[in-house]
């Protein structure tokens, strides 16, 4: 019998016909790819090239003539003069855009009282030139100057391309020690956070203690506030005018407490170190705790009860079960949590800015270089340096996440904890301690915001809410923040969800979809500071046709949507993956355009996920500082940046007040979201079995 | 409830007034000037209102931030300036901009009335001064008593071992006030003496802050007994009820001035000139005097409440060009000496 295949012969590969829908979907996908290129890839490229933009003195393009009363002498090249005098070596030539080199250094016999006349000119147009009377001169004409005027001539650097900035970065100890500092802070915070979060998650998933719901909710609170607020809270709790101290003095009397406090304050682990690495670590643990907790809870709740039963049947002692069953089961979750926390801490700018004192870290270095010294090139170099650990952490996290999926078996039996009084009580006590600390930090911020003048006038007052007379943009900034968060949530959710739909449900065009996935994952690896700085370079360039968005609300929304794109995208993809592709197939066979099934089926089914995305974007837009600190304009000041600026100016109490306003707003929106989701679940999600 | 009603009525009135202004003012077509400034937020409204009394057809759009950020912004926008005028930025920053060819030289009306210190030396000047902000030391008397610290009278006093760990100062790499202090010490004590003084002072510093007002506010809040900051800030905190004493060190104090300039290439040059003209009038100077004890026109300043005495006499003969031209080298040297030791002191 001849098989059909042989009979027909080898035809060409059958390709599904690309219909109108597919073209629309591809075109739309391209639009979003274009967006991600413009909002992410191009700015980063511009920033990278900025980091190679160097400034150096080009003495060979400057010439002098001197008249010592006997007419003009021969023409002297500055380079030749400098080499003759031994004042020119590679170290003195490399500088920054605001470097200046006094022309008088080339004439050791210079005296501004002498009757000598000087001439100076450039040999070439377009070099850095020099300053005459404070104004730049770049032409090739001679300038004739008296010695009094010549005293004020400064040679300016020329721009070039090279690795000079990197060389000077790695030869300045004040700069490169930040790498070590940042890594150390991130590693320590990661270990502490993951340990604490693991215990907390363990209590929530493996004990039978009471109030689990409340504990879970309290643990999520730090997500709702800007990371800076943790730093501010710690200053009030443990700073020089510590609230803890005041309470202790009130309770036990000043005499009893003083020696104890002195010992602590002047000791190694005392409160004097709140401004420094200890403070940074504690505040970092505070704000990264919920992020780690979410991941670890997920990892712990997928445990397979059959493994525990087997272990108990084999009479394995408890510690051994913990070591050989619990930990391996959660190991990917733990690794993933570790890298997420590491990434959050190393890229965070708020905490070290508020509480770091003179302990330099990379994220603050970028700010100091750009804002303090206007050295954009060095800011770009530090950004590139900061990108490296963030990229590594991100890559490892991605690899681990992929493995996690394979662990889940369809036959797994969910683990049910059994009550044990001692264990449950210990866990309860631990959770109380953590919850108390989290709420304590917030409570102290709120209390401080209502005090007239801590610590000298403790009467209550709303004076700290008079934001309009302080730095940071006043109440307008609060309104702006809400507006910005709202736009971000709307625009971002629409873009993210539709984009994810095209990628997930589109057919063919695999290379394009892989490219899209890659671009969509990128933002997570890019620290907010780096993104913000890259935006200045890219969007503020006069030749950029998109220049008009610079300084508007638009650029803040674009930056925030891009910064938080990845997590939103993953949420959307997960929700879409749960939907059977048959839906699309059926709709197609009924000759319906994809827009119809998208609007009638996909969106309603995925509504909880869509709400999750929008709330995630809203909350983060309210609290983000690092991404927008370089981008806001006077019309678009933001509440989170106002917290930073008020703290920077020393107005800590108003900063705490504004931080708490952000908290209440986010908490309110969150509650609204919870209510909406519950209602929705009842109405649209009845088909779900779980 | 009454509050709510009142604010509603107020809002209605504002809307109506705005509508009226639109109808009447629409024909005149207001010129809008984008003005970059580092003047304290609370003063901006007063400045604009007073200016509009004389020039109602020019509307000021403020872009306000701290000195460092405004300077960074202006320099970043060098090829595509957004500002028409800079009103109230440190002279050292304006010198930097002048060096980049970003300022439009202009001799405003009444230039000859200004103290020669308060103008660019060139003719026509690229910038004119408004007022001076002067360095000072804020001492919290309550905390000083608690720690048995005598009130310092001079800069050199601050290097005494008794003050170890009790002094905060701004980091010159991120704060204009910090740079002002450092450049003034180099001018007072000479290059070598200045660095020796800072070496000794560094031993006593508890922490360096990013902003110039923070040390004084921290002193006001008792976070640190002594803060090296500027007098203006100290006076404000004192007015707010802080137990502060503002000390003017006897060797003399560094200062910088807030100054005004036109950004080269503005297409609203006429309006910009009017604003700069106005910025050096007696009326404007009196306005500056409400917060600053030293202003550009000599002889009109009245004493400001809570300001220490003898400030004008203590101001050193500040060489701004020295500061601007050597800024890069001074900051690099400072960073090498003090910023590398980033571990907090035990």
CB contact (8 A) between residue A634 and residue B63: yes
A286 shares a domain with A404: yes
CB contact (8 A) between residue A650 and residue B342: no
Give A 396-425 residues with CB within 8 A of chain B. Answer: none
Work out the pLDDT band at B19, boundaries 50, 70, 90.
very low
Residue B255, pLDDT > 80, answer: yes
Mean pLDDT of A229-234: 92
Give A 345-404 residues with CB within 8 A of chain B. Answer: 353, 357-360, 367-368, 370-374, 376
Work out the pLDDT band at B18, boundaries 50, 70, 90.
very low
A176 shares a domain with A80: no
Mean pLDDT of A606-627: 93
For A361, the 3-state DSSP assignment is: coil
CA distance B211 to chain A (A): 6
Question: What are the φ/ψ torsions at residue A512 (nearest 5 degrees)?
Answer: -60, -40
Give the count of domains, chain A.
3
Residue A258 lies in a domain: no
Mean pLDDT of B106-129: 91
Last residue in a domain, options A117, A136, A161: A161
A272 Cβ under 8 Å from any chain B Cβ: yes
A472 shares a domain with A355: no
Last residue in a domain, options A161, A195, A230: A161
Q: Which residues of B touch A172 (CB under 8 A)?
A: 335-336
Q: Which residues of B touch A542 (CB under 8 A)?
A: 79-80
Residue A253 lies in a domain: no
Residue B27, pLDDT > 60, answer: no
Query: What's the pLDDT tens digit per position in A399-450?
Result: 877 776 555 566 777 788 888 899 999 999 999 999 999 999 999 999 999 9
Instruction: List the single residue in B99, B175, B328 with the smallest CB-CB distance to A136.
Output: B99
Secondary structure (DSSP) of A377-417: HHHHHHHHHHHHHHHHHHHHHHHHHHHHHHH--TT--B---
CB contact (8 A) between residue A102 and residue B217: no
Residue A41 lies in a domain: no
A230 shares a domain with A123: no
Task: Tell me which residue range forms the domain holding A651.
Answer: 468-504+531-684
CATH of the domain at A566: 1.10.3720.10
Residue A270 lies in a domain: no
CB contact (8 A) between residue A371 and residue B68: yes
Give the mutation candidate from A112, A129, A174 for the B interface (greatest B CB count, under 10 A).
A174
Query: What's the pLDDT tens digit per position in A59-87?
Result: 888 899 999 888 888 898 888 888 888 88
**Omega into A455 within 30° of 0, i.e. cis?**
yes
The answer to whether the CB of B276 falls within 8 A of the CB of B112 is no
Query: What's the pLDDT tens digit per position in A40-50?
Result: 999 999 999 99
CB contact (8 A) between residue A371 and residue B241: no
CB contact (8 A) between residue B222 and residue A469: no
The pLDDT value given to residue B125: 93
CB contact (8 A) between residue B342 and residue A181: yes
Residue A5 lies in a domain: no
Secondary structure (DSSP) of A496-522: HHHHHHHHHH--S-HHHHHHHHHHHHG
Cα separation, A597 vs A574, whole angstroms: 18
Cα separation, A640 vs A131, whole angstroms: 41
Residue A11, pLDDT > 70, answer: no
Better-predicted residue by pLDDT, A88 or A181: A181
Residue A661 lies in a domain: yes
Instruction: Give the burial string for A321-350 (b: 16+ CB within 10 Å, else e).
Output: beeebbeebbebbbbbbbbbbbbbbbbbbb
Cα separation, B308 vs B285, whole angstroms: 20
What is the C-alpha radius of gyration for chain B, rounded to an integer number of angstroms? 22
Instruction: List the single residue in B41, B121, B207 with the smallest CB-CB distance to A275.
Output: B207
A157 shares a domain with A283: no
CB contact (8 A) between residue A172 and residue B95: no
A176 shares a domain with A325: yes
Question: What are the φ/ψ torsions at residue B84 (nearest 5 degrees)?
Answer: -95, -40
Work out the pLDDT band at B308, boundaries 50, 70, 90.
confident
Q: Which domains does chain B have, with CATH numbers?
A: 31-131+259-303 (3.40.190.10), 133-255+313-339 (3.40.190.10)
Residue A343, pLDDT > 80, answer: yes
Q: Which residues of A touch B165 (CB under 8 A)?
A: 272
- Closest chain A CA to residue B102: A135
Handedness of CA A469, A475, A476, A478 (dihedral sign): positive
CA distance A439 to chain B (A): 24
Q: How far is CA A560 from CA A391, A395, A482, A623, in A?
A: 19, 22, 13, 11
Cα separation, A529 vs A361, whole angstroms: 13
- Closest chain B CA to residue A631: B73
- Closest chain A CA to residue B36: A634
Residue B275, pLDDT > 90, answer: yes
Residue A665, pLDDT > 80, answer: yes
Which stretch of DSSP H or E encloses residue A158?
A: strand A158-161
Mean pLDDT of A4-20: 62
A637 shares a domain with A539: yes
End-to-end CA distance of chain B: 56
Place of tokens 């990013």: B210
Instruction: List the single residue in A131, A240, A536 with the smallest CB-CB distance to B76.
Output: A536
Last residue in a domain, options A138, A161, A184: A161
Q: How many CB pairs under 8 A join A and B?
A: 173
Instruction: List the single residue in A372, A468, A547 with the smallest CB-CB distance to B68.
Output: A372
The pLDDT value given to residue A16: 64
Work out the pLDDT band at B251, boundaries 50, 70, 90.
very high
Cross-strand partners of B259:
B89, B129
A180 shares a domain with A68: no
Mean pLDDT taken over chain A: 86
A576 shares a domain with A661: yes
A474 shares a domain with A452: no
A108 shares a domain with A226: no
Better-predicted residue by pLDDT, B177 or A486: A486
Angle ∠(A555,A561,A564) on CA atoms, nearest 5: 135
Question: What are the φ/ψ torsions at residue B136 (nearest 5 degrees)?
Answer: -155, 170
Six token digits for residue A516:
């899209």
The pLDDT value given to residue A490: 96
The pLDDT value given to residue A687: 64
How many Cβ atoms sit within 10 Å of the Cβ of residue A589?
Answer: 8
CA distance A125 to chain B (A): 16
The pTM for the full model equals: 0.84
Instruction: List the single residue in A174, A353, A471 with the smallest CB-CB distance to B41.
Output: A471
Instruction: List the single residue in B72, B223, B346 with the smallest CB-CB distance to A241.
Output: B223
Cα separation, A394 vs A68, whole angstroms: 67
- List the one residue out of A336, A356, A341 whose CA is nearest residue A235: A356
The pLDDT value given to residue B342: 39
Give the mutation candidate from B339, B343, B345, B346 for the A interface (greatest A CB count, under 10 A).
B339
Instruction: Give the burial string for A10-34 (b: 16+ CB within 10 Å, else e).
Output: eeeeeeeeeeebbeebbeebeebbe
Q: Which residues of A touch B71 (CB under 8 A)?
A: 374
A452 shares a domain with A478: no
Give the mutation candidate from B80, B344, B345 for the A interface (greatest A CB count, under 10 A).
B344
Query: What's the pLDDT tens digit per position in B53-79?
Result: 999 999 998 887 777 778 877 887 787
Residue A266, pLDDT > 80, answer: no
CA distance B104 to chain A (A): 11
Give the mutation candidate from B65, B238, B240 for the A interface (greatest A CB count, under 10 A).
B65
ipTM of the complex: 0.74
The pLDDT value given to residue B313: 86
For B59, left (φ over 0), alpha (ψ -120 to 50), or beta? beta
Instruction: List the single residue in B72, B215, B325 with the smallest CB-CB distance to A371.
Output: B72
Q: Which residues of A touch B65 (CB under 8 A)?
A: 634
Residue A4 lies in a domain: no
Residue A565 lies in a domain: yes
CB contact (8 A) between residue B122 and residue A133: yes
Mean pLDDT of A512-539: 88
């Amino acid at each position: 019998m001849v098989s059909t295949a042989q009979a027909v012969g080898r035809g060409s590969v059958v390709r599904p016909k690309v219909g109108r829908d597919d073209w629309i979907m591809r075109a739309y996908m391209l639009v979003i790819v274009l967006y991600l290129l413009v909002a992410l890839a191009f700015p980063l490229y511009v920033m990278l090239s900025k980091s190679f933009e160097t400034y150096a003195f080009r003495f060979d393009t400057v010439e002098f003539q001197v008249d010592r009363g006997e007419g003009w002498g021969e023409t002297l090249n500055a380079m030749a003069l400098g080499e003759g005098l031994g004042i020119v070596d590679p170290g003195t030539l490399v500088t920054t855009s605001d470097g200046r080199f006094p022309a008088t250094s080339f004439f050791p016999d210079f005296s501004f009282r002498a009757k000598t006349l000087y001439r100076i000119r450039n040999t070439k147009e377009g070099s850095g030139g020099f300053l005459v009377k404070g104004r730049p001169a770049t032409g090739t004409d001679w300038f004739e100057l008296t010695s009094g005027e010549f005293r004020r001539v400064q040679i300016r650097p020329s721009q070039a391309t090279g690795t000079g900035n990197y060389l000077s970065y790695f030869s300045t100890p004040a700069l490169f020690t930040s790498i070590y500092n940042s890594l150390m802070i991130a590693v320590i915070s990661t270990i502490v956070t993951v340990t604490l979060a693991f215990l907390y998650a363990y209590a929530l998933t493996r004990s039978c203690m009471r109030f689990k719901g409340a504990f879970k909710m309290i643990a999520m609170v730090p997500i709702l506030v800007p990371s800076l607020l943790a730093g501010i809270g710690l200053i009030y709790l443990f700073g020089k005018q510590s609230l803890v101290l005041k309470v202790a003095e009130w309770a036990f009397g000043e005499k009893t407490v003083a020696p104890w406090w002195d010992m602590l304050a002047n000791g190694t682990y005392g409160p004097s170190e709140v401004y420094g690495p200890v403070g940074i670590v504690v505040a970092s643990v505070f704000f990264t705790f919920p992020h780690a907790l979410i991941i670890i809870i997920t990892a712990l709740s997928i445990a397979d009860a059959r493994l525990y039963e087997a272990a108990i049947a084999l009479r394995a002692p408890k510690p051994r079960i913990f070591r050989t069953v619990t930990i391996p089961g959660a190991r990917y979750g733990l690794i993933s949590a570790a890298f997420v926390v590491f990434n959050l801490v190393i890229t965070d700018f708020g905490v070290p800015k508020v509480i770091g004192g003179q302990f330099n870290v990379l994220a603050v270095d970028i700010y100091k270089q750009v804002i303090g010294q206007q050295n954009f090139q060095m800011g770009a170099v530090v950004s590139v340096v900061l990108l490296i650990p963030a990229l590594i952490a991100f890559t490892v996290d991605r690899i681990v996440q992929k493995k996690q999926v394979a662990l889940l078996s369809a036959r797994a039996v969910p683990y049910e904890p059994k009550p044990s009084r001692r264990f449950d009580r210990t866990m309860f006590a631990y959770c109380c301690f953590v919850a108390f600390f989290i709420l304590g930090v917030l409570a102290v911020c709120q209390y401080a915001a209502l005090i007239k003048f801590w610590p000298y006038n403790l009467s209550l007052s709303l004076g700290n809410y008079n934001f309009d007379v302080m730095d940071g943009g006043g109440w307008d900034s609060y309104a702006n923040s809400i507006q910005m968060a709202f736009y971000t949530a709307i625009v971002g959710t629409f873009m993210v969800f539709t984009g994810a739909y095209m990628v997930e449900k589109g057919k063919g065009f695999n290379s394009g979809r892989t490219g899209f996935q890659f671009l969509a994952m990128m933002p997570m690896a890019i620290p907010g500071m780096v993104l913000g700085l890259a935006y200045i370079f890219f969007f503020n360039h006069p030749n950029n046709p998109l220049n008009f968005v610079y300084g508007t609300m638009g650029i803040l929304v674009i930056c925030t949507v891009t910064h938080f794109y990845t997590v939103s995208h993953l949420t959307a993809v997960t929700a879409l993956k749960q939907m059977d592709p048959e839906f699309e197939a059926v709709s197609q066979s009924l000759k319906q355009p994809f827009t119809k099934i998208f609007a009638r089926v996909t969106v309603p089914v995925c509504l909880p996920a869509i709400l999750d995305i929008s709330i995630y974007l809203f909350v983060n837009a309210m609290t983000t500082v690092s991404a927008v600190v370089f981008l806001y304009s006077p019309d678009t000041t933001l509440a989170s940046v106002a917290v930073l600026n008020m703290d920077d100016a020393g107005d800590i109490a108003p900063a705490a007040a504004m931080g708490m306003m952000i908290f209440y707003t986010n908490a309110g929106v969150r509650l609204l979201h919870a209510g909406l989701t519950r209602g929705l679940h009842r109405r649209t999600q009845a088909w779900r079995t779980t | 409830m009454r509050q709510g009603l009142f604010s509603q009525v107020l809002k209605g009135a504002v809307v109506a007034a705005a509508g009226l202004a639109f109808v009447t003012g629409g024909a005149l077509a207001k010129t809008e000037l984008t003005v970059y400034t580092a003047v304290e937020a609370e003063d901006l409204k007063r400045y604009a209102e007073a200016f509009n009394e004389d020039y109602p057809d020019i509307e000021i759009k403020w872009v306000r931030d701290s000195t460092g950020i405004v300077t960074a912004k202006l320099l970043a926008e060098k090829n595509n300036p957004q500002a028409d005028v800079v009103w109230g930025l440190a002279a050292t920053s304006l010198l930097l901009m002048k060096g980049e060819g970003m300022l439009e030289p202009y001799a405003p009306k009444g230039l000859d009335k200004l103290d020669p210190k308060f103008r660019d030396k060139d003719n026509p000047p690229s910038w004119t001064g408004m007022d001076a902000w002067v360095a000072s030391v804020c001492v919290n008397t309550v905390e000083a008593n608690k720690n048995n610290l005598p009130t310092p009278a001079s800069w050199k006093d601050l290097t005494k071992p008794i003050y170890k760990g009790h002094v905060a100062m701004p980091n010159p790499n991120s704060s204009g006030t910090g740079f002002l202090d450092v450049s003034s010490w180099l001018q007072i004590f000479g290059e070598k003496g200045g660095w020796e003084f800072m070496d000794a002072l560094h031993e006593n510093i508890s922490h360096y802050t990013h902003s110039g007002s923070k040390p004084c506010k921290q002193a006001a809040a008792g976070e640190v007994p002594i803060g090296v900051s500027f007098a203006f800030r100290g006076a404000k905190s004192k007015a707010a009820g802080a137990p502060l004493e503002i000390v003017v060190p006897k060797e003399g104090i560094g200062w910088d001035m807030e100054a005004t300039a036109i950004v080269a290439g503005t297409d609203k040059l006429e309006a910009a000139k009017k604003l700069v003209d106005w910025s050096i009038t007696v009326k404007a100077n009196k306005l500056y005097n409400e917060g600053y004890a030293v202003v550009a026109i000599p002889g009109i300043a009245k004493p400001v409440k809570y300001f220490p005495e003898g400030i004008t006499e203590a101001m050193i003969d500040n060489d701004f060009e020295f500061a601007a031209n050597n800024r890069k080298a001074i900051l690099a040297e400072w960073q090498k000496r003090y910023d590398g030791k980033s571990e907090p002191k035990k």
